[in-house]
Structure 1
Amino acid sequence: MKLIGYKSTKVAIGAVISILIAGQLGLLYSTACGIITILSIQNTKRKSILIAIRRMTAFLIAFFIAIPLFLIVGFNTFVFGLYLLVFIPIAIKIKVEEGIVVSSVLVTHILVEGTVTPSLLFNESLLMVIGVSIALLLNIYMPTFEEELSSYQDLIERKIQEILLDMSTSLKQHYVSIKEETYFNELQDIIKKAKEVAINNRNNYLFSGDRYYEHYMDMREQQFEILKRMRSHFKHFYMTVNQTIMIAEFTDKVANSYFTNYSTEALLKGINSMRGMFKRMELPKTREEFENRAMLYQFLNDMEQFLKLKVKFKVRQINKYKPTSS
């Protein structure tokens, strides 16, 4: 079931349970309890707890402001407006704005009743506690994002492979594919969506979450920026030289390494080997050939940075799980 399905089910069940509990306890305005639950159910465990704390804090501040105003000035709409003028800036200032609406709804109950009594204050407090508590209980279980993130990884790698193969063909044939823009837009959208899911995955851990997928998406995001830079070089490639074919074939090798056992470290050694061969080749004879070869070298430098990001990511993961010496 998709996240939206889980959340919809929780909202429906939570609202009903909250209203029923409030009704069984004989609380006034029991339906408000269901609304509090609806607003308190979030997409992650960590966010649910954070919102609950903010709502409870806002509730206490709201009643601390509203009660004296009603008792001193009177129970009327203008006083409620005055309460809002005082409460809203304070709530925003201390970053508990998520509790503005809910707390203000509960304050209206005092306005409607036209009195402040211990039983009414207890009533409103229970509405808040029950509504928030039911939301927290329902958010103890959250769906796993692992399978979805794994699918995103596979999709991102396939899209990068498409782009690299397209670049290789463009180097050999001196034309830019009509699908180039589509490939880049698709990859950008996928990385953006995957990063959001990765953050939600980490926030489903209350204290410390595994940031592997976030770091992975960060790495792919940086690689995407390098791919865009590599793409920009193509407007300067207008002749075929030996180096062009060599770099095109190497780009093919990088593309195909995504679904083979060919290591990134071996690819980096291949770049160093190519540089050695380039140094032994005949120097450019014309300005045009010199400029073309210079851009090819820059393309190769960018490819090196592209691969080094992957190595850096791998090393980071290895060090994270490396046993510490005693």
Structure 2
Amino acid sequence: MKFIGFRTLKTGIGAALAIIIAKELGLEYAASAGIITILSIQKTRKKSFKIALRRIGICILALTIAIILFGIFSYNEIIFGAFLLIFIPLAVKFNGEDSIVVSSVLVSHLLVEKSIELPLIWNELALMFVGVSVALILNFYMPNLEERIKEEQVFIENAIKEILLRMAEVMRGENICEEGDVVFTSLEDRLRAARKLSYINLNNNFIADESYYVKYMEMRMRQLAVLKDMREHFRDDFANYEQAIIMGNFTDKVASSIYEENSAEGLLSDLYKLRETYRNMELPKSREEFESRASLFQFLNDIEQFLKIKNEFIREIR
């Protein structure tokens, strides 16, 4: 377990650096630059950049309102309260909720100094600029997540393959059905974590298009939902019927073709032939057989949806 995370390390270094720079520039209230840096360091480059621009804009809005109010009236707590009553709703309207506290602190400096002279206004703008600039520079470096995402892809594909193989074994009577399979649960947890990583990776790149991994994880999430349906339609008595053995062999084939680049077109073609074979088979002889074969047919429909999701993904990225 890591005692200090990478973001925490950047925050500590950034706050200290911002205060030092502000002091070297001769700015008053230099510690405010450090606080601004702390609040501006985000998980991704894009988010950090957006917040920086928004924070500067909201700061200019706050100072403008303060200059007008302090200039017309006076420097006291009531006017500062009036400033907040005007500023906060406007900040919210411009989606600047995350900049309200920082900008209010900067305006409070005007109240303490009882001045709206240009040097003090420039001082507050400079504090904001130093704080967000240091945060942006530190956030420019982000760990490369691509290798981790690729490792997760391998795990996800192997887990899906294992689930399908187990289903195939049960249908052929070679294994027993395992409810609450650990592999299934582990797959869902890892897939959700990998999807989160893919979105972070996407938002860490301004130029390169990293949407492939997001689309891949979303595709696997949709397939996971279908796998859940397949498990719902699964029965222990499948192995009693010839159709289940055929389905088990086909499920084996799907499991062996789960890898990333496979478009699933060939498998879909085989599935349509399999469905036609089922339709030409002898009708069920008992209610039990009818129910089992109905569940088996629904399982086939689930596999079709599973394969179509993959096929749509390949078509989209090509």
CA contact (8 A) 1:18 1:34 kept: yes
Deviation (angstroms), 1:59: 0.2
Task: For 2:168 and 2:79, locate their aligned partners in 1 and report how far apart those are by CA, in whole Å.
Answer: 71
Deviation (angstroms), 1:155: 1.6
CA contact (8 A) 1:15 1:37 kept: yes
Deviation (angstroms), 1:238: 6.4
Taking structure 1 as reference, are residues 229 and 65 closer, same or farther at Cα in structure 2, changes over 3 Å only?
A: same
After TM superposition, the score normalised by the length of structure 2 is 0.89
Task: For 1:135 and 1:191, locate their aligned partners in 2 and report how far apart those are by CA, in whole Å.
Answer: 31
Identity in percent: 46
Letter in 1 for 2:307: L
Q: Secondary structure at the match of 2:240?
A: coil
Task: For 2:78 and 2:233, locate their aligned partners in 1 and report how far apart those are by CA, in whole Å.
Answer: 66
Task: For 1:228 and 1:81, locate their aligned partners in 2 and report how far apart those are by CA, in whole Å.
Answer: 55
Letter in 2 for 1:109: H
Instruction: Identify the residue that residue 54 of structure 1 maps to in structure 2.
Output: 54
Instruction: Identify the residue that residue 7 of structure 1 maps to in structure 2.
Output: 7
Counterpart check, 1:312 vs 2:312: yes
Q: Secondary structure at the match of 1:39?
A: helix
Deviations 1:185-219 (A, max 9, x none): 33222222212211111112224622100110111
Counterparts of 1:75-94 in structure 2 under 5 Å? 75-94=75-94
Instruction: Identify the residue that residue 165 of structure 1 maps to in structure 2.
Output: 165
Taking structure 1 as reference, are residues 261 and 219 closer, same or farther at Cα in structure 2, changes over 3 Å only?
A: closer
CA contact (8 A) 2:170 2:236 kept: no
Deviation (angstroms), 1:118: 1.6
User: Which shows bigger deviation, 48-57 or 302-311?
Assistant: 302-311
Taking structure 1 as reference, are residues 208 and 98 closer, same or farther at Cα in structure 2, changes over 3 Å only?
A: farther
Instruction: Identify the residue that residue 323 of structure 1 maps to in structure 2.
Output: none
Counterparts of 1:257-272 in structure 2 under 5 Å? 257-258=257-258, 264-272=264-272
Instruction: Identify the residue that residue 248 of structure 1 maps to in structure 2.
Output: 248
Taking structure 1 as reference, are residues 29 and 190 closer, same or farther at Cα in structure 2, changes over 3 Å only?
A: same
Instruction: Identify the residue that residue 303 of structure 1 maps to in structure 2.
Output: 303
Instruction: Identify the residue that residue 177 of structure 1 maps to in structure 2.
Output: 178
CA contact (8 A) 2:268 2:307 kept: yes
Counterparts of 1:151-230 in structure 2 under 5 Å? 151-173=151-173, 176-180=177-181, 182-207=182-207, 209-230=209-230
Count of matched residue positions in the alignment of Structure 1 and Structure 2: 315
Deviations 1:20-42 (A, max 9, x none): 11111211110111111121122
Instruction: Identify the residue that residue 285 of structure 1 maps to in structure 2.
Output: 285
Deviation (angstroms), 1:262: 8.2
Show structure 1 runs of 5+ residues with no match. Answer: 319-326
Counterpart check, 1:113 vs 2:79: no
Deviation (angstroms), 1:241: 0.7
Instruction: Identify the residue that residue 68 of structure 2 maps to in structure 1.
Output: 68
Deviation (angstroms), 1:140: 2.3
Deviation (angstroms), 1:237: 5.3
Task: For 1:276 and 1:117, locate their aligned partners in 2 and report how far apart those are by CA, in whole Å.
Answer: 84
Taking structure 1 as reference, are residues 18 and 261 closer, same or farther at Cα in structure 2, changes over 3 Å only?
A: closer
Task: For 2:212 and 2:305, locate their aligned partners in 1 and report how far apart those are by CA, in whole Å.
Answer: 21
Deviation (angstroms), 1:121: 0.9
After TM superposition, the score normalised by the length of structure 1 is 0.87
CA contact (8 A) 1:236 1:295 kept: no
CA contact (8 A) 2:198 2:213 kept: yes
Letter in 1 for 2:187: L
Letter in 1 for 2:154: D
Task: For 1:224 and 1:75, locate their aligned partners in 2 and report how far apart those are by CA, in whole Å.
Answer: 61
Task: For 1:261 and 1:122, locate their aligned partners in 2 and report how far apart those are by CA, in whole Å.
Answer: 56
Taking structure 1 as reference, are residues 112 and 26 closer, same or farther at Cα in structure 2, changes over 3 Å only?
A: same
| Cα RMSD for the two superposed structures | 2.5
Deviation (angstroms), 1:259: 6.1
Task: For 2:287 and 2:307, locate their aligned partners in 1 and report how far apart those are by CA, in whole Å.
Answer: 30
